[in-house]
Copies of this chain bind each other. A is one copy, B any other.
Amino acid sequence: MLDERVTVHVQTGRNGYDVRVGAGGIDELTVLLPRLAPAHRYVVIADDRVASIHGEYLLGVLARTNRKVDLLTFPSGETYKSRETWSDLSDRMTSSGVGRDAAVLAFGGGVAGDLGGFVAATYMRGLPVVQVPTTLLAMIDSSVGGKTGVDTPAGKNLIGAFLQPRLVVADTNLLRTLPAAELRAGLAEAIKHGAIADAAYFDWISDSVEAILACERAAVARLVARSVEIKADVVGKDETESGPRKMLNFGHTIGHAVESLSEFRLLHGEAIAIGMVLEARLGERLGVTEPGTTERLAEVFSRVGLPTELAEDLPHHGILEATRSDKKARQGKVEYSLIERIGRASPASGTWALPVEDALVLAALEVHPAR
Contacts and interface: CB of A to CB of B under 8 A. Distances in A.
Contact of A161 (B100, B122, B149): B122
A125 B329 contact: no
Interface residues of A, number: 41
A304 B95 CA distance: 38
A158 interface: yes
Given A94-B154, A154-B95, A332-B97, A161 B125 contact: yes
A325 B125 contact: no
Given A91-B154, A152-B94, A122 B330 contact: no
Contacts of A87: 83
Contact of A147 (B121, B125, B147): B125
A154 B123 CA distance: 12
A162 interface: yes
A241 B101 CA distance: 12
Given A91-B154, A155-B94, A325-B94, A149 B162 contact: no
A258 to B, nearest CB: 20
B330 A123 contact: no
Nearest to A162: B125
Contacts of A97: 324, 329, 332
Interface string A137-163: 000000000011100111101111110
A40 interface: yes
A361 to B, nearest CB: 17
A161 B331 contact: no
Interface of A: 13-14, 40, 83, 87, 90-91, 94-95, 97, 99-101, 121-126, 147-149, 152-155, 157-162, 240-241, 324-325, 327, 329-332
12 contacts: A14-B14, A40-B330, A91-B152, A91-B153, A94-B158, A95-B154, A99-B327, A100-B327, A122-B161, A123-B158, A124-B160, A125-B161
Given A101-B330, A125-B149, 11 more contacts: A13-B14, A40-B330, A83-B83, A91-B154, A94-B158, A121-B161, A122-B160, A123-B159, A125-B161, A125-B240, A126-B161
